[in-house]
Amino acid sequence: MSVGFFSEHVTYGTFLTPFPSSSSSSPSPDPFASHPRLLSLLTLSCLIPQSTPREIRWHLRGALRRGWTREEVEAVQRGVELVCEELGTKLDGNLSRVTDIHVQAEERDTVEGK
């Protein structure tokens, strides 16, 4: 089974779909409710092998809004691309990069040196 197949048919919807807990004491059925940075990591790791430029761009922006730095986001993307390359998954050469994303209000002070 290829990374592309696994990413497209198994992971994205499965891991990102909230499900009810068997315990009624759980405050949220969403397993990532208290881990927004992990959610960004998982989402990008699922989308990049699918070579979906629009969705990748959305989630690059989302990662920045969840507190990732631009350097961290680029490192995640390069890491996922390296794994894809090693496993023979062909990627679209025109995927969005974090440098394509406008500076977000949440990061403006840090990026502009204020």
Per-domain residue ranges of the chain: 3-15+35-111
DSSP state of 28: -
Q: pLDDT digit string (tens) for 66-105?
A: 889 999 999 999 999 999 999 998 888 888 899 998 887 7
pLDDT at 4: 62
Structure tokens at 13: 């919807």
pTM, two decimals, is 0.69
7-11, 92-96, 105-109: least confident range? 7-11
Phi and psi angles of residue 107, each rounded to the nearest 5 degrees, phi first: -110, -5
Structure tokens at 43: 């989402």
- 101, 64 Cβ separation under 8 angstroms: yes
- 108, 114 Cβ separation under 8 angstroms: yes
Residue given tokens 């070579």 in the structure block = 51
Structure tokens at 4: 């592309």
Q: pLDDT digit string (tens) for 25-64?
A: 656 666 666 788 888 888 888 889 988 888 899 889 989 9
DSSP state of 11: I
pLDDT at 114: 46
